[in-house]
Amino acid sequence: MNRRRYRFHPGDYELGENEKFYGDMEAQGWRLVSRGAFLSRFAPAEPSAARYRVEVAEENYYAYLSDEDMDDGRLAVFADCGWEFVTGRRLLRIFRAPAGSDAPEFYMDPRQQAATLKTLHRQHLIGWIPTLFTLLFSLFLQSRRLGGLAYFHRAWVEETALCLLLLAAVAWLVYVNLHAAWHVGRVIRRMKRGQPLDHSPRSRRHVHRAVCWGLAGAMVLCGLLAAAQRMEARAGELPLLTTEPYLLPGELGLPGERTLKEGSVTHSRSLLADCWDVYEKMSASQENTVWIWQDVYLLGTERAAVSMAQSLMGTATFGDRGRSFHPIDPGELDMAWAAGELELVAVKGRLAAHITYIGDGFWDPVAICRALEEKWAG
Amino acid sequence: MTDQGPMTEAMYYILLALLRPGHGYGMMRRIQELSGGRLVMGPGTLYGVLARMNREELIVLTGEEGRRKNYAITPAGRSALLAEYARLKRMVADGDILEEAER
């Protein structure tokens, strides 16, 4: 029977912890086979007191992405000394010596080993910055294109769980790497003082582990919530009648023949709001076609609805980032703004709506406000 | 490459061992032999120093036996070794006053 076992291993920067972890697993009858990003794979073996040692590549990080790139000459020296190469991943190469073997330690002077840890230290200190920079820069460009801070606010309301997942991932990336850099830096300083690596450290870093598991748990939770939101989202054709808070063309007082094949409504629920995304294209006459888009939100508080209205104006397609909007008579609504003959934003209570209209001849923002009043009256 | 400062103990013994060309493990055994068992060099230390001396052209790769790589000392390496040996001898000679003071 080809049994195997997977276990989460200590981070790349925890050299002594990794050595102890693999030695403990072998003592329990599980021999290391391979090491992945977070999990190590083990195969059953006779329990034994094998020694494991971790060697860190000093050279170019990318030269060690695969085992085939390992330097044969170096492996031969280790093998001749009694160290069997087990597996490697990224900067780490893991060797094993059987119980009772007289295989010498890798370094006769801790100061020499300290020099080998510089690449690992640098990787954790600055290696993550390009990833974070690329992410933030792409978000920045996206927000510049779509409405600045208002874009982020809309994304936060519509995709709260996904935004929290992103924030947790960034926090995890920064925390784990900076902690690793601090840890490796401390090991290097100790080695430079002549103190050898502790090959079987006692785990005392409960706070660090709690932070890591907390962030990982937050990421999993947010990922599940985001997936649930996606799965729960309902998309379908526009109904002929509805009690939901968006307007149907008939309620807008628009004449014309409904072309249902080109109308759709998507309802989704984030942690902060219920969102309806409505689109319809209809023929008002043979020469005249009208397009209507509606984004309607039911938020948690009235204040959130007003704030959302500001962001809807800031991200409006034709509203020049809100500058083209001007207040109009809201009637029974709390507030309403219109931009040109294309867009309208309205708020009442916890509801906020953004309606975009393209077509000739029917634009009447006051009439739309009255239709919304009627619709939202309940 | 003869203008370098004092050599590390590992470099000195590796160059000494390579007066007779050989592979890594052979060098480790020879170093133990040359130092009367005092110095047991680990493979990490050995390979790190070999890579550095190879870059500095103090040693040269001469061939391979299977996975093992054979190295030999270069004329520059021999000069550096002789210079280090002379420096150590001078240091030992300078230390003679210690023996006189002890008498």
When scoring A19, A74, A191 by the number of chain B Cβ atoms within 10 A, the one with the most, hence best to mutate, is: A74
Residue ranges of domains in chain B, CATH in brackets: 9-102 (1.10.10.10)
Higher pLDDT, A112 or B86: B86
Q: Which of A80, A108, A116 sits opposite B41 (nearest CB)?
A: A108
Hey, is the C-beta of A118 within 8 angstroms of any chain B C-beta? no
Hey, is the C-beta of B68 within 8 angstroms of any chain A C-beta? yes
pLDDT at B63: 83
Give the start-to-end residue ranges of the domains of chain A: 5-106, 124-232, 234-376
For the record, the structure tokens of A300 come out as 């948690």
The residues in A 220-239 lying below 8 A from B, measured between CB atoms, are none
At A13-67, the pLDDT tens digits run 899 999 999 999 999 999 999 999 889 999 998 898 899 999 887 655 444 444 4
Using the structure block, give the residue that is written with the tokens 């280090």.
Answer: B84
Coil, strand or helix: which one is A80? helix
pLDDT at A137: 87
pLDDT at A337: 92
Per-residue confidence of chain A (378 residues) as pLDDT tens digits?
568 899 999 888 899 999 999 999 999 999 999 999 889 999 998 898 899 999 887 655 444 444 444 466 778 888 888 899 999 888 888 999 987 888 888 888 888 888 889 888 998 998 888 888 888 888 888 777 766 788 889 899 999 999 999 999 999 989 999 999 999 999 999 999 989 988 888 866 788 888 988 999 999 999 999 999 888 888 888 787 888 899 887 777 666 565 555 788 999 999 999 999 998 887 766 666 778 899 999 999 999 999 999 999 988 877 777 778 889 888 888 999 988 778 899 999 999 999 988 876 667 788 888 888 888 886
Tell if the CB–CB gap between B40 and A104 is shorter than 8 Å.
yes
* pTM exceeds 0.80 for this model: no
Confidence of residue B13 (pLDDT cuts 50, 70, 90): very high
pLDDT at A40: 94
Q: What are phi and psi of A8, to 5 degrees?
A: -65, 135
Tell if the CB–CB gap between B68 and A107 is shorter than 8 Å.
no
Nearest to residue B15, comparing CAs of B67, B62, B84?
Answer: B84
Question: Assign residue A364 a region: left if phi > 0, alpha if psi is -120 to 50, beta otherwise?
Answer: beta
Q: Which residues of A touch B67 (CB under 8 A)?
A: 72-73, 75-76, 79
> For residues A296 and A368, what is the distance between their CA atoms, to the nearest angstrom?
14
Q: Where are the beta strands (DSSP E) in A300-375?
A: 325-327, 335-339, 343-348, 351-358
DSSP string, A274-312: EEEEEEEEEESSSS-EEEEEEEEEEESSHHHHHHHHHHH
> For residues B15 and B22, what is the distance between their CA atoms, to the nearest angstrom?
11
Q: Which of B45, B47, B68 sits opposite A108 (nearest CB)?
A: B45
> For residues A47 and A50, what is the distance between their CA atoms, to the nearest angstrom?
9
Residue of B nearest to A70 (CA): B67
pLDDT at A303: 94
DSSP string, A100-162: T--PPPS-SSHHHHHHHTHHHHHHHHHTTHHHHHHHHHHHHHHHHHHTTHHHHHHHHHHTHHH
Query: Among positive and negative, which fits the CA dihedral A26, A32, A35, A36?
Result: negative
pLDDT at A33: 93
| Average pLDDT, integer, range B16-20 | 93
Q: Which residues of A touch B14 (CB under 8 A)?
A: none
| ipTM field | 0.74
